[in-house]
């Protein structure tokens, strides 16, 4: 469905010009000759964008702008006038206008403003939809796992979500850092305001400052109009800066100022813009090392690292693999309309033996692939990737026995391997210690002794039959 735009202008020629231009752009257009007529239409219909002349007889453009913001504050309003002044532009922007354009304007200029305004409207609409899905999509439902490390993370999220403290989430790629950030936001008092994501590694350095802080008209070649950045759009909400270690030092200084002063200037601007934004950052790099080597500001590191959440790799919480696998099976079974009911025991054992360098993201991709390929009602080993099947045939995964250059503590390393094997045996036998002992080729008494020695008995409780 094409977006619907209301054009308000008392000059018939301008109304006709804008209507023809907008219809050629593919929009549905309603033309209104007066403020009274425009307000009546606003009260009775929904519009995705309003283009309104400032000077109108009786009820002026400012009043139409006020009324529009009362009826639906999310709908962007572009003000146009032949009698522009700095005062009227400032007043219009204070009342919530998206932009202010002076006649005569260039065709490509107004088209660019219109497209940007609608892009912003779509972004806000997406946030509204996200708010409606809080309980089912962005509570704790997407953080799957019952292992002790995950239970500690759930408890920490509950404790810190109501605060305004900045949070640094660390962990390997694919461990679910963005899901944790969303869970914090959507369980906080800021839940009804935007949650915006900026991946510092995916935006070129030359564009990142504008993306974060916006720019003024003419700030650089191609800046045909002022643009608000993510910090401005996230006002009263949360901004999630992923891959923060990739942010250049020049921008780190500006980010530090935003944290300390709660204000910033747009690129090319002089006006101080105040914002109330909670900052959550994430990295898969060692930020302390980045600080030591001069690639990350020490003062910024301490301001971001008020509360630290570290997400363990999947290989360190293997008891969550069956739960996660079943969760993704249900997700993609529904999405792909498949009649698959379960994962075979053989396939599940292969999943448990694999070391998952890509973590939860790799596991999700594996299950999605298996659901797509499987023609029966059960996921069989044949539907799993060859590298996962072949890797699972190793007696001990090679990643367990790699010798680092600086050497290791052999006793401690052997203890860790023993822990992994004991835990995996219990997971595969669903907590049955008699069967787990048999799987490892040791007596039940020896198995119980090893659990107690390594401090694992309390994690797995009583014997299951």
Q: Identify the CATH number of the domain in which residue 243 sits.
A: 3.40.50.300
- Domain finish residue from 347, 372, 398: 398
> Full-prediction pTM beyond 0.75?
no
Please check whether residues 234 and 179 belong to one and the same domain.
yes
Write out the two tokens for 438: 């048999």
Please name the residues in contact with 296: beta carbons below 8 A apart, sequence gap of 6 or more: 245, 249, 252, 287, 290
Dihedral angle sign, alpha carbons of residues 111, 230, 195, 70:
negative
Query: What is the CATH classification number for the domain harbouring 446?
Result: 1.10.10.60
Which secondary structure element, helix H or strand E, spans residue 309, and what is its range? strand 307-310
- Domain finish residue from 351, 367, 398: 398
* Residue-level pLDDT, tens digit, the chain, 465 residues: 578 999 999 999 999 999 999 999 999 999 999 999 999 999 888 899 999 999 899 999 999 999 998 888 889 999 998 876 777 878 888 888 998 888 888 888 899 999 989 887 877 766 555 444 444 444 465 678 888 888 899 999 999 999 999 999 999 999 999 999 999 998 999 998 999 999 999 998 878 999 999 888 877 777 777 788 999 999 999 999 999 999 999 999 999 999 999 999 888 888 889 999 999 999 999 999 999 999 999 999 999 999 999 999 998 888 899 989 999 999 999 999 999 989 998 899 899 889 899 999 999 999 999 999 998 999 999 999 999 988 755 545 555 556 777 778 888 888 888 888 888 888 888 788 888 888 887 888 888 888 888 877 655 555 444
pLDDT recorded at residue 401 = 59
User: Domain count of the chain?
Assistant: 4
pLDDT recorded at residue 243 = 96
Do residues 185 and 133 touch, judged by C-beta distance below 8 A?
Answer: no
Among 160, 127, 155, CA closest to 140 = 155
Cα-based distances in Å from 463 to 433, 436, 447, 460 = 6, 10, 12, 8
Please check whether residues 278 and 385 belong to one and the same domain.
no
- The Cα–Cα gap between 288 and 295 comes to 10
Please check whether residues 22 and 101 belong to one and the same domain.
yes
- Domain finish residue from 261, 285, 311: 311
Please check whether residues 373 and 443 belong to one and the same domain.
no
In a domain, 222, yes or no: yes
Please check whether residues 14 and 111 belong to one and the same domain.
yes
Please check whether residues 235 and 338 belong to one and the same domain.
no
Do residues 363 and 356 touch, judged by C-beta distance below 8 A?
Answer: yes
Among 38, 40, 33, CA closest to 11 = 33
Do residues 146 and 323 touch, judged by C-beta distance below 8 A?
Answer: yes
Backbone angles phi, psi at 455, to 5 degrees: 70, 30
Its domain, for residue 237, covers 152-311
> Tokens 């409606």 sit at which residue?
132
Please check whether residues 274 and 327 belong to one and the same domain.
no
- The Cα–Cα gap between 225 and 388 comes to 52
Do residues 381 and 353 touch, judged by C-beta distance below 8 A?
Answer: no
Please check whether residues 227 and 259 belong to one and the same domain.
yes
Write out the two tokens for 381: 């080993």
Chain mean position to CA 328: 19
Please check whether residues 342 and 370 belong to one and the same domain.
yes
């Amino acid at each position: 469905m094409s977006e619907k735009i209301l054009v308000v202008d008392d000059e018939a020629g301008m109304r006709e010009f804008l209507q023809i231009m907008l219809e050629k752009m593919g929009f549905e257009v309603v033309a209104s000759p007066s403020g009274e007529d425009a307000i009546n239409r606003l009260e009775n219909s929904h519009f995705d964008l309003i283009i309104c002349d400032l000077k109108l007889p009786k009820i002026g453009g400012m009043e139409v702008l006020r009324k529009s913001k009362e009826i639906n504050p999310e709908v962007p309003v572009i003000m146009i006038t032949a009698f522009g002044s700095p005062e009227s532009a400032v007043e219009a922007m204070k009342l919530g206008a998206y932009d202010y354009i002076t006649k005569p304007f260039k065709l490509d200029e107004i088209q660019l403003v219109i497209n940007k305004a609608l892009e912003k409207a779509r972004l806000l609409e997406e946030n509204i939809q996200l708010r409606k899905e809080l309980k089912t999509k962005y509570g704790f439902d997407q953080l799957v796992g019952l292992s002790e490390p995950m239970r500690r993370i759930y408890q920490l999220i509950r404790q810190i979500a109501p605060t305004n403290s900045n949070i640094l989430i660390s962990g390997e790629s694919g461990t679910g850092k963005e899901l944790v950030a969303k869970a914090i936001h959507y369980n906080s008092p800021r839940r009804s305001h935007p949650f915006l994501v900026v991946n510092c590694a995916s935006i070129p350095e030359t564009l990142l400052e504008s993306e974060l802080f916006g720019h003024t008209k003419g700030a650089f070649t191609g800046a045909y109009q002022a643009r608000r950045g993510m910090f401005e759009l996230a006002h009263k909400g949360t901004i999630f800066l992923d891959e923060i270690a990739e942010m250049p030092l020049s921008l780190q200084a500006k980010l530090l100022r935003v944290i300390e002063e709660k204000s910033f200037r747009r690129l090319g601007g002089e006006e101080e813009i105040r914002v109330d934004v909670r900052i959550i950052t994430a990295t898969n790099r060692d930020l302390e090392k980045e600080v030591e080597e001069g690639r990350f500001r020490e003062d910024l590191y301490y301001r971001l690292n008020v509360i630290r959440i570290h997400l363990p790799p999947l290989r360190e919480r293997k008891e969550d693999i069956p739960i996660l696998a079943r969760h993704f099976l249900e997700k993609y079974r529904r999405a792909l309309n498949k009649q698959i009911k379960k994962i075979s025991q053989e396939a599940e054992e292969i999943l448990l033996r694999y070391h998952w360098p890509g973590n939860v993201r790799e596991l999700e991709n594996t299950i999605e692939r298996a659901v797509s390929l499987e023609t029966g009602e059960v996921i069989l080993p044949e539907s799993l990737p060859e590298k996962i099947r072949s890797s699972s045939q190793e007696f001990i995964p090679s990643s367990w026995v790699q010798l680092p250059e600086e050497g290791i503590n052999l006793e401690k390393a052997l203890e860790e391997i023993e822990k992994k094997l004991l835990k995996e045996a219990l997971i595969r036998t669903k907590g049955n210690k008699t069967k787990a002992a048999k799987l490892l080729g040791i007596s039940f008494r020896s198995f119980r002794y090893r659990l107690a020695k390594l401090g694992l008995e309390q994690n797995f409780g009583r014997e299951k039959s």
